[in-house]
Structure 1
Amino acid sequence: MNSFKTAILLAAMTALFMGLGYLIGGASGAMIAFFVAAAMNLFAYWNSDKMVLSMHGATRVDEATAPAYVRLVRQLAENAGLPMPATYIMNQPQPNAFATGRNPEHAAVAVTTGLLEALSPEELAGVLAHELSHIRNRDTLTMTITATIAGAISMLANFAFFFGGSRERGGIVGTIALAILAPMAAGLVQMAISRTREYEADAMGAQISGRPLWLASALEKIDRAAHAVPNGAAEANPATAHMFIINPLHGGARDNLFSTHPATANRIAKLREIAAAEGRAQGRPWG
């Protein structure tokens, strides 16, 4: 199912890309945009994870350089029945994390230095279990490709804004309108694929870690810090915002186009419901 959704997503992104090409250069522009989009789709499938990690300055680590973090990922991956993903750290004070990769065999988890400093080991386990859920559900391919292509569409829209389109197709007014609508369309696609997936990853992450309230507590801390601590790399690449466990953007006019996460309070409430139900089922206080 996720492979089918990825194919639909790529087709939609290609169509939007061709529309921008038509505005800039007519039928020939649309054809050029089609071939460019096809090449980009192929490139994105194989390399989008590397591109996203590079955008955020992620550095690969192992047990020699980050033993506690890497061992925790390995333990949780075993719990989830997953191959060990590559582990990365981003030198970023905002607590946050994301997973990427085209399949579980070629996956990576990346956390910020701020996350490692702000969370307890239990809370960190909750966050990592959530990210491993995205890998297990094969969400990461769609999410990562979306980030890559949406970013490309935004850049093409900016190109259209600066260089204008054909007068027969709306001239500068149409160009400006499409330059605004293209990133908005990309944001809407991201919104459609991300909101329900966050709830699903929260629930599965709670199963992997065994403690729903670990993630609930982590989300509370991360959400509070995300509003206070800027994330420069995310602000420079807003099309990647949907990949993070909490929206890393600060809510400016452009950022709102890429707001893809459900309300954190709602996510915490659902995790508390899961914990309460588990507690009742096991005849113990939940927590």
Structure 2
Amino acid sequence: MSDMNGPTVRRVHHSGGDGRRLRMATVAALGSIALLLAACAGPTSSSSPSPSPSPRTDASAPKTSAKALDPAQAERLQRVWTPLLKAMDHPLQPNQVKVGLMDDAHINAANAGNGQFLVTTGLLEKANDDRLQAVLAHETAHEDLGHVAKAQALGTGLNIGMVILDQILPGSGALTPIAGQLILNKYSRNEEYAADKHGVELLRRIGKPKEQMIDALTWLTQVEGNSKGGFFATHPATGDRIEALRQMK
């Protein structure tokens, strides 16, 4: 992951079924050290004695490989994401956000807590700015609501391959991709609905309508609704979530 003057990105591809949590096990491109990341999950707080279920590996997910980040993509992440970070209930400065890049064609992103995020190349390549921002709003909402901090931690941290958002400069190509695979873990439906709702609130705070989130979820369904990988492999069924957003005042 890389440091940028903006949030560190991680993240999420929604998949069918009841609420699920995404965990990303990343493998450094030049080593065998695996890092377990919780998408919408993270270290257990002292008040949460119950461990989260053991994660399972999505055997059908293809292994990812390293790929150079287009400098324009680094600038795009800073531009699209920074307003959301400033709009949080607990705002994050760009230098507090770390982003890791997974070289995976699936559209996905995840929040690992403590300002740490993951995004896939598929998300950056296939989503337009509004859809990218909506997905990031959902992940940023998980961070703002402390969902990761309420879950049991897996792994040892996200130091390898991460970059600070505000240190990613246009043309630097500083956001280094990581090879790895997704590990899935059950998520609470309530947490996913809460992240959708708070994500919309964050978008509204920067002058965007709730329809931006609805459009992103609808698009994800159209693009990867039948896929076993990506966002829909780690998130609950989307139809009910879209309807809940439509009912949101």
TM bucket by the smaller chain?
0.5 to 0.7
Higher radius of gyration, 1 or 2:
1
Q: TM-score when scaled to structure 1? A: 0.48
Structure 1: 5+ residue runs without aligned partners?
A: 14-54, 150-186, 235-245, 249-259, 278-287
What is the CA–CA distance in structure 2 between the aligned matches of 1:138 and 1:205, rounded to whole Å?
Answer: 13
Q: Is 1:141 aligned with 2:149?
A: yes
Identity over aligned pairs, percent? 28
- CA offset at residue 115 of structure 1? 1.4
Aligned residue for 1:87, secondary structure, equals strand
Aligned residue for 1:111, secondary structure, equals strand
What is the CA–CA distance in structure 2 between the aligned matches of 1:204 and 1:230, rounded to whole Å?
Answer: 27
Which letter maps to 1:224? Q
- CA offset at residue 261 of structure 1? 3.6
The 3 A distance-change label for structure 1 pair 230 and 195 is closer
Instruction: Encode CA deviations 1:62-108: one digit per residue, 9 max, x unaligned.
Output: 9776101122222210111223321232211111111113x3xxx22
Are the aligned partners of 1:97 and 1:112 in contact in 2 as well (CA < 8 Å)?
yes
Q: Which has the higher strand share?
A: 2
The 3 A distance-change label for structure 1 pair 268 and 60 is farther
Aligned residue for 2:247, secondary structure, equals helix
Partner of 1:266: 240
What is the CA–CA distance in structure 2 between the aligned matches of 1:57 and 1:141, rounded to whole Å?
Answer: 29
Partner of 1:110: 118
The 3 A distance-change label for structure 1 pair 230 and 262 is closer
Q: How many residues align?
A: 164
Instruction: Encode CA deviations 1:169-200: one digit per residue, 9 max, x unaligned.
Output: xxxxxxxxxxxxxxxxxx8xx53x52111000
Which letter maps to 1:89? L
Partner of 1:281: none
Partner of 1:225: 223
The 3 A distance-change label for structure 1 pair 65 and 129 is closer
Instruction: Encode CA deviations 1:138-172: one digit per residue, 9 max, x unaligned.
Output: 112345726x59xxxxxxxxxxxxxxxxxxxxxxx
User: Please, what is the CA RMSD of the aligned residues?
Assistant: 3.5
Q: Which has the higher helix share?
A: 1
Partner of 2:111: 99
Partner of 1:213: 211
- CA offset at residue 213 of structure 1? 1.5
- CA offset at residue 131 of structure 1? 0.4
Q: TM-score when scaled to structure 2? A: 0.54
Partner of 1:3: 45
